[in-house]
């Protein structure tokens, strides 16, 4: 066992604004932090999206990047392992039905609602190809309507027999994976560290950070990257 803290960071909403690049000043500070501490990133996104948001300097300094809810691990730009997931037709059809039942204006929705990633499916009623402004609008609408929360709750009742579970993803989506193949598995991969310290923004029971947040010995539920930055400055 390594008698040292390991730091694990979600990306969207924790190190960056949702689906946007990391702030330049914060990136410089965070890169320095990564030089001094063992650091892993943990995201529901795929590796391509990580590279769009996180600077090469940070990527070169972290010890590893868990993508697709921990179903992939990347170290030094190489994929160390990956898990696959096959979604039953019944599940795909039910999710398609949710698109038609949604009360969110159809004319504002995009066309890409399903994104199959390693070991998981990312589903979005609003669509992954909508503009930044519409993303924010849907996110605010969802906070009032609780649409994603309701879909997650119903999904987890209906499809437990497939060993599948859903949770709220980033700003507009839902993450679906095998039960136990969520971010919580990252804790087990890093069990050789004495203490795991986690930073995430979706740490409530329906959020995709919750399982890892629950397990870690020390954890911070943050509001945004500025909140993360202020905490880290007290640590360093």
Query: What are the 10-residue block averages of pLDDT along the chain, 236 residues in total?
Result: 88 94 97 96 96 97 96 94 93 95 96 94 96 95 97 96 93 94 94 95 92 96 97 86
> Which pair of structure tokens corresponds to residue 124?
């979005």
How far apart CA 58 and CA 33 sit, in angstroms, is 9
Q: Look-up: residue for tokens 């930044």? A: 132
- pLDDT at position 18 is 87
Bridge partners, residue 82, by sequence:
72
Q: How far apart are CA 236 and CA 70, in angstroms?
A: 27
Strand, helix or coil at 102?
coil
Residue 20 phi, psi (nearest 5)? -125, 165
Contact between 13 and 203 (Cβ < 8 Å): no
- Can you tell me the distance from the alpha carbon of 74 to that of 81, in angstroms, rounded to the nearest whole number? 8
176: number of Cβ within 10 Å: 25
CA dihedral 24, 10, 224, 230 (to 10 degrees): -70
How far is residue 174's CA from residue 176's CA, in Å, rounded to a whole number? Answer: 7
User: To which H or E segment does residue 57 belong?
Assistant: helix 56-61
pLDDT of residue 236: 64
The pLDDT assigned to 234 comes to: 87
pLDDT of residue 19: 86
CA R_g for the chain: 17
Residues belonging to the active site: 10, 12
Question: What's the pLDDT score for residue 169?
Answer: 87
Q: How far apart are CA 202 and CA 221, in angstroms?
A: 7
Predicted TM-score (pTM) of the model is 0.84
195 forms beta bridges with 5
Ordered domains of the chain (ranges, CATH) = 2-82+182-235 (3.40.50.1000), 89-178 (3.30.1240.20)
Beta bridge partners of 175: 122, 167
Return the residue matching tokens 């609602």. Answer: 113
Residue 231: predicted pLDDT: 96
The count of C-alpha atoms lying within 13 angstroms of the C-alpha of 66, restricted to the half-sphere facing its C-beta, is 26
Residue 114, exposed/middle/buried by CB under 10 A (0-12, 13-18, 19+)? middle
Q: Residue 220: its pLDDT value, please?
A: 97
In the block, residue with structure tokens 């996104």: 45
Which secondary structure element, helix H or strand E, spans residue 6, and what is its range? strand 2-9
First to last CA, the chain: 23
């Amino acid at each position: 066992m390594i008698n040292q803290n390991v730091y694990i960071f979600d990306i969207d909403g924790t190190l960056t604004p949702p689906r946007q690049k990391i702030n330049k000043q914060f990136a410089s500070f965070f890169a320095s932090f990564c030089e001094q501490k063992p650091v892993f990133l943990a995201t529901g996104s795929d590796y391509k999206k990580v590279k769009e948001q996180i600077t090469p300097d940070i990527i070169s300094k972290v010890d590893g990047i868990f993508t697709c809810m921990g179903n992939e691990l990347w170290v030094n730009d190489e994929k160390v392992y990956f898990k696959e997931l096959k979604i039953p037709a019944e599940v795909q059809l039910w999710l398609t039905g949710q698109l038609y039942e949604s009360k969110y204006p159809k004319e504002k929705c995009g066309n890409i609602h399903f994104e199959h990633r390693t070991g998981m499916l990312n589903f979005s009623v609003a669509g992954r190809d909508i503009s930044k402004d519409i993303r924010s609008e849907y996110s605010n609408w969802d906070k009032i309507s609780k649409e994603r929360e309701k879909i997650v709750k119903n999904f987890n009742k209906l499809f437990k027999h497939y060993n599948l579970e859903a949770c709220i993803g980033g700003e507009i989506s839902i993450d679906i994976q095998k039960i136990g193949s969520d971010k919580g598995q990252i804790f087990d991969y890093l069990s050789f560290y004495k203490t795991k310290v986690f930073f995430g923004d979706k740490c409530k029971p329906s959020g995709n950070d919750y399982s890892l947040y629950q397990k870690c010995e020390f954890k911070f539920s943050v509001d945004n990257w500025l909140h993360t930055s202020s905490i880290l400055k007290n640590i360093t």
